[in-house]
Chain A
Protein backbone atom coordinates (compact mmCIF):
# COMPACT_ATOMS: atom_id res chain seq x y z
CA UNK A 1 0.00 0.00 0.00
CA UNK A 2 3.05 2.20 -0.22
CA UNK A 3 2.13 3.58 -3.61
CA UNK A 4 0.30 6.73 -4.55
CA UNK A 5 -2.11 4.88 -6.77
CA UNK A 6 -4.78 4.12 -4.15
CA UNK A 7 -5.22 7.73 -3.03
CA UNK A 8 -5.41 8.80 -6.68
CA UNK A 9 -7.92 6.12 -7.67
CA UNK A 10 -9.96 6.78 -4.53
CA UNK A 11 -9.98 10.50 -5.30
CA UNK A 12 -11.10 9.92 -8.89
CA UNK A 13 -13.96 7.73 -7.61
CA UNK A 14 -14.99 10.48 -5.16
CA UNK A 15 -14.95 12.99 -8.01
CA UNK A 16 -16.98 10.72 -10.30
CA UNK A 17 -19.53 9.98 -7.59
CA UNK A 18 -20.07 13.67 -6.82
CA UNK A 19 -20.15 14.63 -10.51
CA UNK A 20 -22.74 11.93 -11.20
CA UNK A 21 -24.77 13.21 -8.24
CA UNK A 22 -24.77 16.72 -9.70
CA UNK A 23 -25.55 15.48 -13.22
CA UNK A 24 -28.34 13.07 -12.27
CA UNK A 25 -29.93 14.50 -9.12
CA UNK A 26 -28.70 18.10 -9.31
CA UNK A 27 -27.31 17.87 -5.80
CA UNK A 28 -23.99 18.68 -4.16
CA UNK A 29 -22.42 15.72 -2.36
CA UNK A 30 -21.89 17.30 1.04
CA UNK A 31 -22.02 14.50 3.57
CA UNK A 32 -22.60 16.56 6.72
CA UNK A 33 -25.57 18.36 5.16
CA UNK A 34 -27.02 15.22 3.56
CA UNK A 35 -26.75 13.41 6.90
CA UNK A 36 -28.32 16.19 8.98
CA UNK A 37 -31.20 16.67 6.54
CA UNK A 38 -31.75 12.91 6.33
CA UNK A 39 -32.00 12.80 10.14
CA UNK A 40 -34.66 15.49 9.97
CA UNK A 41 -36.58 13.75 7.16
CA UNK A 42 -36.16 16.82 5.02
CA UNK A 43 -38.11 16.63 1.78
CA UNK A 44 -36.36 14.21 -0.55
CA UNK A 45 -35.73 10.63 0.53
CA UNK A 46 -32.64 10.44 -1.71
CA UNK A 47 -30.57 11.70 1.25
CA UNK A 48 -31.63 8.79 3.40
CA UNK A 49 -30.74 6.34 0.64
CA UNK A 50 -27.36 7.97 0.07
CA UNK A 51 -26.46 7.51 3.75
CA UNK A 52 -27.60 3.88 3.61
CA UNK A 53 -25.42 3.51 0.50
CA UNK A 54 -22.39 4.84 2.39
CA UNK A 55 -22.84 2.25 5.13
CA UNK A 56 -23.63 -0.59 2.71
CA UNK A 57 -20.58 0.38 0.66
CA UNK A 58 -18.45 0.09 3.79
CA UNK A 59 -19.88 -3.37 4.47
CA UNK A 60 -19.26 -4.39 0.86
CA UNK A 61 -15.63 -3.27 0.85
CA UNK A 62 -15.05 -4.83 4.25
CA UNK A 63 -16.21 -8.14 2.77
CA UNK A 64 -14.44 -8.14 -0.59
CA UNK A 65 -11.31 -6.16 0.34
CA UNK A 66 -10.85 -6.50 4.10
CA UNK A 67 -7.31 -5.08 4.06
CA UNK A 68 -8.78 -1.60 3.57
CA UNK A 69 -10.63 -1.96 6.86
CA UNK A 70 -7.65 -3.38 8.66
CA UNK A 71 -6.99 -0.44 10.99
CA UNK A 72 -7.91 0.70 14.46
CA UNK A 73 -9.73 3.76 15.60
CA UNK A 74 -7.08 4.70 18.11
CA UNK A 75 -8.87 7.50 19.97
CA UNK A 76 -10.37 6.76 23.38
CA UNK A 77 -14.06 7.39 24.03
CA UNK A 78 -13.39 10.72 25.68
CA UNK A 79 -11.60 11.97 22.55
CA UNK A 80 -14.22 10.46 20.25
CA UNK A 81 -17.07 12.26 22.05
CA UNK A 82 -15.28 15.63 22.01
CA UNK A 83 -14.23 15.22 18.38
CA UNK A 84 -17.74 14.16 17.33
CA UNK A 85 -19.35 17.14 19.05
CA UNK A 86 -16.88 19.55 17.42
CA UNK A 87 -17.25 17.98 13.97
CA UNK A 88 -21.06 18.05 14.23
CA UNK A 89 -21.31 21.58 15.61
CA UNK A 90 -18.64 22.94 13.26
CA UNK A 91 -19.96 21.43 10.05
CA UNK A 92 -23.49 22.61 10.86
CA UNK A 93 -22.31 26.13 11.68
CA UNK A 94 -19.97 26.35 8.68
CA UNK A 95 -22.38 24.58 6.31
CA UNK A 96 -20.06 21.87 5.16
CA UNK A 97 -17.22 19.43 5.62
CA UNK A 98 -14.44 17.87 3.57
CA UNK A 99 -16.86 16.71 0.88
CA UNK A 100 -19.20 19.70 0.52
CA UNK A 101 -16.63 22.48 0.86
CA UNK A 102 -13.58 20.48 -0.21
CA UNK A 103 -14.39 18.01 -2.98
CA UNK A 104 -17.45 19.84 -4.38
CA UNK A 105 -16.99 23.49 -3.35
CA UNK A 106 -13.47 23.67 -4.75
CA UNK A 107 -14.76 21.93 -7.88
CA UNK A 108 -17.26 24.77 -8.26
CA UNK A 109 -14.53 27.36 -7.65
CA UNK A 110 -16.51 28.68 -4.68
CA UNK A 111 -14.46 31.26 -2.75
CA UNK A 112 -16.52 30.51 0.37
CA UNK A 113 -15.60 26.85 0.17
CA UNK A 114 -11.96 27.63 -0.54
CA UNK A 115 -11.79 29.78 2.62
CA UNK A 116 -13.60 27.10 4.67
CA UNK A 117 -11.28 24.37 3.38
CA UNK A 118 -8.12 26.38 4.14
CA UNK A 119 -9.44 27.18 7.62
CA UNK A 120 -10.44 23.64 8.60
CA UNK A 121 -7.23 22.18 7.18
CA UNK A 122 -5.18 24.74 9.14
CA UNK A 123 -7.18 24.07 12.30
CA UNK A 124 -6.66 20.33 11.86
CA UNK A 125 -2.92 20.79 11.26
CA UNK A 126 -2.59 23.05 14.33
CA UNK A 127 -4.53 20.59 16.48
CA UNK A 128 -2.34 17.65 15.49
CA UNK A 129 0.79 19.76 15.99
CA UNK A 130 -0.23 20.99 19.44
CA UNK A 131 -1.32 17.56 20.63
CA UNK A 132 1.92 16.03 19.35
CA UNK A 133 3.94 18.63 21.25
CA UNK A 134 2.24 18.04 24.61
Chain B
Protein backbone atom coordinates (compact mmCIF):
# COMPACT_ATOMS: atom_id res chain seq x y z
CA UNK B 1 0.00 0.00 0.00
CA UNK B 2 2.78 2.43 0.95
CA UNK B 3 4.59 1.69 -2.29
CA UNK B 4 1.50 2.34 -4.36
CA UNK B 5 0.79 5.62 -2.57
CA UNK B 6 4.40 6.65 -2.96
CA UNK B 7 4.21 5.94 -6.70
CA UNK B 8 1.09 8.09 -7.01
CA UNK B 9 2.66 10.90 -4.98
CA UNK B 10 5.70 10.71 -7.27
CA UNK B 11 3.42 11.13 -10.28
CA UNK B 12 1.65 14.03 -8.55
CA UNK B 13 4.94 15.74 -7.69
CA UNK B 14 6.06 15.26 -11.26
CA UNK B 15 2.86 16.90 -12.52
CA UNK B 16 3.52 19.83 -10.17
CA UNK B 17 7.06 20.25 -11.47
CA UNK B 18 5.87 20.05 -15.09
CA UNK B 19 2.90 22.42 -14.77
CA UNK B 20 4.91 24.96 -12.78
CA UNK B 21 7.63 25.21 -15.42
CA UNK B 22 10.40 23.98 -13.10
CA UNK B 23 11.39 21.24 -15.55
CA UNK B 24 12.36 23.81 -18.18
CA UNK B 25 16.01 24.85 -17.60
CA UNK B 26 15.56 28.10 -19.57
CA UNK B 27 12.82 29.20 -17.14
CA UNK B 28 15.01 28.33 -14.14
CA UNK B 29 17.92 30.33 -15.54
CA UNK B 30 15.53 33.22 -16.31
CA UNK B 31 14.36 33.07 -12.71
CA UNK B 32 17.91 33.14 -11.34
CA UNK B 33 18.84 36.02 -13.66
CA UNK B 34 17.57 38.73 -11.29
CA UNK B 35 20.06 41.39 -12.42
CA UNK B 36 19.02 41.33 -16.07
CA UNK B 37 15.77 40.10 -17.55
CA UNK B 38 14.23 38.59 -14.44
CA UNK B 39 11.41 36.09 -14.92
CA UNK B 40 9.90 36.24 -11.42
CA UNK B 41 7.34 33.51 -12.04
CA UNK B 42 9.11 30.59 -10.42
CA UNK B 43 9.02 32.44 -7.10
CA UNK B 44 5.25 31.87 -7.30
CA UNK B 45 5.91 28.11 -7.43
CA UNK B 46 7.95 28.25 -4.25
CA UNK B 47 5.49 30.63 -2.54
CA UNK B 48 2.48 28.45 -3.38
CA UNK B 49 4.19 25.18 -2.42
CA UNK B 50 5.59 26.54 0.84
CA UNK B 51 2.26 28.26 1.56
CA UNK B 52 0.35 24.98 1.30
CA UNK B 53 2.90 23.23 3.52
CA UNK B 54 2.97 26.04 6.09
CA UNK B 55 -0.77 25.56 6.38
CA UNK B 56 -0.92 21.75 6.36
CA UNK B 57 2.34 20.59 8.01
CA UNK B 58 1.41 21.88 11.51
CA UNK B 59 -1.99 20.16 11.31
CA UNK B 60 -0.41 16.91 10.10
CA UNK B 61 2.36 16.97 12.70
CA UNK B 62 -0.19 17.31 15.51
CA UNK B 63 -1.37 13.79 14.75
CA UNK B 64 0.38 10.68 13.55
CA UNK B 65 1.17 9.50 10.04
CA UNK B 66 -1.58 7.28 8.65
CA UNK B 67 0.40 4.33 7.30
CA UNK B 68 3.52 4.20 9.49
CA UNK B 69 4.22 4.51 13.21
CA UNK B 70 6.30 7.67 13.29
CA UNK B 71 7.28 10.71 11.31
CA UNK B 72 10.76 10.54 9.82
CA UNK B 73 12.03 14.09 10.24
CA UNK B 74 15.57 15.42 10.23
CA UNK B 75 16.51 16.40 13.78
CA UNK B 76 19.56 18.33 12.66
CA UNK B 77 19.53 21.88 13.92
CA UNK B 78 23.10 23.06 13.54
CA UNK B 79 24.21 25.38 10.78
CA UNK B 80 27.59 23.88 9.91
CA UNK B 81 30.15 24.21 7.13
CA UNK B 82 28.78 21.13 5.35
CA UNK B 83 25.36 22.73 5.03
CA UNK B 84 26.74 26.01 3.71
CA UNK B 85 29.37 24.52 1.38
CA UNK B 86 26.88 21.94 0.12
CA UNK B 87 24.30 24.63 -0.63
CA UNK B 88 26.92 26.75 -2.45
CA UNK B 89 28.04 23.83 -4.66
CA UNK B 90 24.46 22.84 -5.38
CA UNK B 91 23.53 26.44 -6.21
CA UNK B 92 26.45 26.80 -8.64
CA UNK B 93 25.50 23.55 -10.38
CA UNK B 94 21.86 24.65 -10.50
CA UNK B 95 22.92 27.98 -12.00
CA UNK B 96 25.04 26.31 -14.70
CA UNK B 97 22.43 23.96 -16.19
CA UNK B 98 19.15 25.15 -14.63
CA UNK B 99 18.35 21.66 -13.39
CA UNK B 100 17.83 20.54 -9.79
CA UNK B 101 17.30 16.89 -8.76
CA UNK B 102 13.48 16.68 -9.04
CA UNK B 103 13.19 18.15 -12.56
CA UNK B 104 16.34 16.24 -13.55
CA UNK B 105 14.64 12.94 -12.71
CA UNK B 106 11.33 13.96 -14.34
CA UNK B 107 13.26 14.86 -17.49
CA UNK B 108 14.55 11.29 -17.73
CA UNK B 109 11.18 10.66 -19.38
CA UNK B 110 12.44 12.70 -22.35
CA UNK B 111 14.83 9.87 -23.24
CA UNK B 112 17.56 12.18 -24.41
CA UNK B 113 21.29 12.20 -23.83
CA UNK B 114 21.57 15.36 -21.75
CA UNK B 115 18.89 14.35 -19.23
CA UNK B 116 20.41 10.93 -18.72
CA UNK B 117 23.93 12.35 -18.51
CA UNK B 118 22.82 14.85 -15.88
CA UNK B 119 21.39 12.16 -13.60
CA UNK B 120 24.40 9.86 -14.08
CA UNK B 121 26.71 12.73 -13.28
CA UNK B 122 24.59 13.76 -10.28
CA UNK B 123 24.76 10.19 -8.97
CA UNK B 124 28.55 10.20 -9.30
CA UNK B 125 28.66 13.51 -7.40
CA UNK B 126 26.60 12.02 -4.56
CA UNK B 127 28.82 8.95 -4.25
CA UNK B 128 31.91 11.12 -4.46
CA UNK B 129 30.62 13.21 -1.54
CA UNK B 130 29.73 10.13 0.44
CA UNK B 131 33.23 8.76 -0.20
CA UNK B 132 34.95 12.02 0.79
CA UNK B 133 32.80 12.28 3.94
CA UNK B 134 33.74 8.75 5.00
CA UNK B 135 37.47 9.63 4.88
Q: Could you tell me which A residues sit within 8 Å of B by CB distance?
A: 1, 4, 6-29, 31-32, 35-36, 39, 45-62, 65, 68-69, 71-75, 77, 79-95, 97-99, 101-104, 106-112, 115-117, 119-129, 131-132
Contact = CB atoms under 8 A, between A and B. Distances in A.
Contact of A26 (B26, B72, B98, B120): B72
Nearest to B33: A128
Given A24-B66, A47-B6, A75-B96, A106 B53 contact: yes
A49 B4 contact: yes
Contacts of A120: 87-88, 90-91, 94
A16 B20 contact: no
Contacts of B113: 77
Nearest to A62: B109
Contacts, number: 456
Secondary structure dominating the interface of A: helix
Contacts of A56: 7, 10-11, 14, 109
Given A49-B4, A74-B26, A92-B125, A123 B15 contact: no
Nearest to A91: B90
Contacts of B79: 111-112, 115
Interface centre among A14, A72, A101 (most CB of B within 10 A): A14
Contacts of B82: 93-95
Contact of A27 (B72, B91, B108): B72
A42 to B, nearest CB: 11
